[in-house]
Amino acid sequence: MRTFVEKILNAECGSIVVREPDYVMSHDNSARVRFLFERIHGTRVYKPSQLVIVLDGKVSGVINELSLEYNSIRDFVEEQGIEHFYDCDRGIGHQIISELVRPGMLVVGSDSHTATAGAFNTLAMGINKTETAVLWKTGKMWFRVPETVKIVLKNRLPEGVFAKDLALWIKGILSKLDVNGLAIEYHGEGVASLSIDDRMTIANISTEMGVVSSAFPPDDRLADYFNEPAVRGVWADEEAVYSRFIEIDLANVFPMVYDTGNNVLQAVEELVGLKIQQGLIGACASGRLEDLRLVSMILEDKHIANGFQLFVVPASRDIYLRAVEEGIIDKIAQSGAVVLGSSCGPCLGVGRVASVGNSCFISTANSQYIGGNNHSGVEKYIASPATVAMTALRGELTPMIHFEGAQYKYNVPRVEPVVLGEYDYRKSNGVWNYGDIDNISSSQIFSEKLTCRLTLEQVEEIKPYLFKGLDPNFTCDVKPGDIIIAGENFGCGRLVKHAATGLVAVGVKLVIAKSVNRDFYRMAINHGLRILIDWAVVDAYTSGERLTIDDENHVLYLNERAYKLPHVDAEFQDILAKGGLVNAFS
């Protein structure tokens, strides 16, 4: 019995396979991807119809450098005969690709929010630029088949509560669990009450939840969306095995707000009256037609508060034009809001949205980006389109409908880094045992502050600084062939590539962890660092035990106890043997 992701990748959970995605999306970073493609001796893309290139990051002609990059991409598209090309202001990539995908597809993109397409019963996930370049050249990429969280939705959302509120609600629940690198499946009768736009909003925030993908089932709503007479797609078997099971009663959900600066999720009721000066609604998170209809209904025949600036970004030109036809744009503009072109610019802190110090900014945009957007000193909050629109009218945080006494009980736990003393010696029989330590960040493995001084190629200079943020004994005693045992969320925090290349340089043979930050996992393996995710081995290991690996028979031994290693495709084994993806194709 298999989960959705096991069926799409046609392999058991934990396996590493090489597969050919149906679509490979990239956006403004396509100029950089082209550079990497040519650096690995790419001349012709493997399959032009596989590529989807969308110029969506900023509006056209912002700066000369950007214009030159755009021209480079346009030239490349013409040379390669790429049919799925969308120029400036056509729309945001995650909205554009929703017009191309079909149930049961495998979709990847050089943006973490590619997971949005999971709303359409696809396996959709983000990849990095190097991986995108390799896909342009070969059409294939490696994937680890993740464990899956089954989330069952009951009932339906109350009036005045929307998909963004539910997405933030789920984010809070998952923040207390170890879901790094896992996939989500949504089940239950509550799913039928969610529109396709709702599902896109929920899937869109997958990265902020810590998971690699989110998938919704093929059902009547999806069939209607594609104008199909019958439901088609792929779904998990009833007896599929899941790593976690979560049940959510939608009737209990209330309007939510996320304080990005303090990393705190709360009910809007808990902060009602908070003075706010600026707001943003739309883009790929909440810029679809249903969102704009709701906003126009709230703003119709009213005017936003004095001193408040509200920006609205439709997710695509087609959505904008349909909103014009329905009179939605006119109602929004008449309220005093500014309607911008379809781009990611406002979320990334470029274009016309400019927060000023000592002010509060509220947005529907993804928390990963909006938290670092624009000037320091700005308090930034995330909420639903309805909450942002109501707040714009009052100039202070306001829900569409009040839920008296609402209080959110799930909160993101604060993580304090562990630093070992010299007396706490962790190496025995060639194994560094950090199995009792969770959340070892990539900055603890190699300080981010040093990346401006040392390049990835300066491996000899990198070595003396490895694990300085965790274990002062490591650099003194690490030897080629050593193994590292770690707890949950290994490699978390800001991505530091030197952490992986440094461990490879000193000869670390293998890292075994309970879970690994998804971005670190892919980056590290692509640079030749072998990582095994295995709760059982980490829990069972005791310092001093003999740990050996029999790759030929796919078995790991703790003394005499045998643990079967997951299946690994021969193509991936070849990539590892050559020192990772970067070396294999450079």
Residues 206, 294 within the same domain: no
The residue among 211, 230, 252 that closes a domain is 252
CA distance readout (Å), 438 to 178, 267, 316, 518:
10, 29, 41, 15
3-state secondary structure 385-403: HHHHHHHHHHCECCCCCCC
What DSSP state is assigned to residue 490?
A: B
Would you say residue 193 has pLDDT above 70? yes
Give the per-residue pLDDT at 60: 44
The residue among 200, 231, 252 that closes a domain is 252
Give the model confidence (pLDDT) of 249-259 as tens digits: 999 999 999 99
Residues 369, 467 within the same domain: no
Alpha helices in 463-569 (DSSP H): 474-477, 497-505, 518-526, 535-540
Q: Are strands 141-144 and 16-19 parallel, antiparallel or unpaired?
A: antiparallel
Give the per-residue pLDDT at 169: 96
Task: State the number of CA atoms in the 13 A half-sphere of 202 facing the CB.
Answer: 25
Q: Which residue has the higher pLDDT, 393 or 374?
A: 393
Q: Domain range holding 284? A: 256-397
Residues 248, 268 within the same domain: no
* Percent over 90 (pLDDT), the chain: 72
Q: Which residue has the higher pLDDT, 353 or 275?
A: 275
Residues 233, 260 within the same domain: no
Would you say residue 182 has pLDDT above 60? yes
Give the per-residue pLDDT at 477: 94
Give the per-residue pLDDT at 367: 55
Residues 352, 469 within the same domain: no
> Would residue 151 count as lying in a domain?
yes
> Would residue 412 count as lying in a domain?
no
Would you say residue 357 has pLDDT above 90? no
Residues 243, 114 within the same domain: yes
Burial track 375-402 (b if 16+ CB lie within 10 A, e otherwise): eeebbbbbbbbbbbbbbbbebbbbbbee
What DSSP state is assigned to residue 127?
A: -
User: Which CATH number fits the domain that encloses residue 328?
Assistant: 3.30.499.10
Residues 109, 223 within the same domain: yes
Give the per-residue pLDDT at 283: 82
> Would residue 413 count as lying in a domain?
no
What DSSP state is assigned to residue 316?
A: B
Report the helix count and the strand count for the chain, using DSSP H and E.
24, 26
Categorize the per-residue pLDDT at 347 as very low, low, confident or very high, splitting at 50, 70 and 90.
low
Would you say residue 344 has pLDDT above 90? no
CB 389 within 8 A of CB 297: no
Give the per-residue pLDDT at 551: 87
Would you say residue 220 has pLDDT above 80? yes
Helix (H, G, I), strand (E, B) or coil at 11: coil
> How is residue 112 written in tokens?
């973490």
**Reported pTM:** 0.93
Residues 48, 15 within the same domain: yes
> How is residue 22 written in tokens?
């149906």
In whole angstroms, give the CA distance from residue 94 to residue 79. 25
In whole angstroms, give the CA distance from residue 293 to residue 474. 58
Neighbours of 457 (CB within 10 A): 9
Residues 187, 274 within the same domain: no
Give the model confidence (pLDDT) of 452-494 as tens digits: 888 888 888 899 999 999 999 999 999 999 999 999 999 998 8
CB 186 within 8 A of CB 205: no
Neighbours of 302 (CB within 10 A): 14
Averaged pLDDT, 81-108: 90
- Backbone phi and psi for residue 431, each to the nearest 5 degrees, phi listed first: -120, 125
> Would residue 409 count as lying in a domain?
no
* Percent over 70 (pLDDT), the chain: 94
Give the model confidence (pLDDT) of 26-61 as tens digits: 988 898 999 999 999 999 999 999 999 998 766 544
> Would residue 416 count as lying in a domain?
no
Helix (H, G, I), strand (E, B) or coil at 504: helix
Beta strands in 172-308 (DSSP E): 183-187, 213-215, 244-249, 256-259, 264-267, 278-282
Residues 244, 265 within the same domain: no
Task: State the number of CA atoms in the 13 A half-sphere of 581 facing the CB.
Answer: 25
Give the per-residue pLDDT at 377: 66
Q: Is the dihedral of CA 70, 114, 521, 167 positive or negative?
A: positive
Would you say residue 229 has pLDDT above 70? yes
Closest CA to 121 of 182, 18, 26, 191: 191
Give the per-residue pLDDT at 346: 64
The residue among 194, 229, 252 that closes a domain is 252
Would you say residue 210 has pLDDT above 60? yes
Give the chain's mean pLDDT.
90
Strand order in the sheet with 561-564: 547-550, 555-558, 561-564
Would you say residue 349 has pLDDT above 90? no
Output the furthest CA–CA distance in the chain (Å, rounded).
Answer: 76
What DSSP state is assigned to residue 294?
A: H
CA distance readout (Å), 502 to 15, 441, 508, 583:
26, 14, 9, 15
First to last CA, the chain: 40
Give the per-residue pLDDT at 61: 45
Q: Which residue has the higher pLDDT, 66 or 375?
A: 66
Q: Are strands 561-564 and 555-558 parallel, antiparallel or unpaired?
A: antiparallel
Averaged pLDDT, 230-243: 94
Quote the number of domains for the chain.
3
User: Which CATH number fits the domain that encloses residue 481?
Assistant: 3.20.19.10
Give the model confidence (pLDDT) of 57-79 as tens digits: 665 445 666 777 888 899 999 99
> Would residue 191 count as lying in a domain?
yes
Residues 209, 268 within the same domain: no
> Would residue 521 count as lying in a domain?
yes
- Backbone phi and psi for residue 225, each to the nearest 5 degrees, phi listed first: -60, -45
What DSSP state is assigned to residue 198?
A: H
> Would residue 415 count as lying in a domain?
no
Give the model confidence (pLDDT) of 102-151 as tens digits: 999 999 998 888 999 999 999 999 999 999 999 999 999 999 999 999 99
Closest CA to 256 of 362, 396, 408, 379: 408
Residues 50, 112 within the same domain: yes
In whole angstroms, give the CA distance from residue 117 to residue 102. 9
